[in-house]
Structure 1
Amino acid sequence: MKTTAHKAFYFISLATGLLLLFIGLRFLLVPQQAEADFGIQTGPHISFAFHYIKGIRDFGVGLLTLVLLFSKEYRSLGWMMLCMGLVPCADFLIVLKDPHHLTSHLYPHLTAILICFTAGPYYLFTTKKQVYAL
């Protein structure tokens, strides 16, 4: 039987993956609104290249999160979350450095940092390492 912690981290990971898919799609489909919600202003737009890069990055990470979660590759999910935890750290600092940022725009990035750096170790330390024979 699964523990309460496992169920909680499963649903947190599920929500994170789905939210990243949503955020990625927003950056691809409504880039200016997504930018405002992210917490920065990039100025007048001739090109939405930044937005599309951010959108596909978030969509890809969300998709990978869900694939690893649904295939029960919890150890791999733990490593991915630990490594990808650098992304919300950088996003947090980018928003913080923007002179027009609102404090409320920092909270989603801080939440992502906490999820990555708690769920990642949880999955690594509670999932047995598989040994494969050659």
Structure 2
Amino acid sequence: MSESEEKSGKQVSNENIGSLDKLHEDLKPKIQFSCYLCGMFEECHYKGKEPPFVSGSVKFREESYVIRDPFIAPPPLGKSKAEYFIIIGTQCVICKNLVCKGLSCSFYYNVTYCLSCLEEVMTKLPKEVQVRAKKQIANSK
């Protein structure tokens, strides 16, 4: 037993070390995401609709690329799941290209559109949404 373990009265077991190794492995981003419009690249923790590291019953409408919030510490071992996350991007519903959630790349109205495809479907959207979409397109240029 080490001197620090003797002072604290705690001993680090191989099981605890294995659990910590698994936690660190789970925290490593493994899924690559790259926005086809701006080229932003990020390694994500999860791709799908229900991230396992989010507490509660969060379910996205569309398959999303998600990272844990890098500014929040992960929960202690054995405690509740993390609640903080960032959606990096998803597929455009029309062209199927990956697009980030940046205002100069995508627009969300029930589903995500890249700004190129948004112009194609603009007239099919409600008038108030068209106003917002046109403003976003104008600001992105």
TM-score by length of 1: 0.28
Tell me: higher relative CO, structure 1 or 2? Use CA pairs within 8 A at least 6 residues apart: 1
Higher strand share: 2
TM-score by length of 2: 0.27
Higher helix share: 1
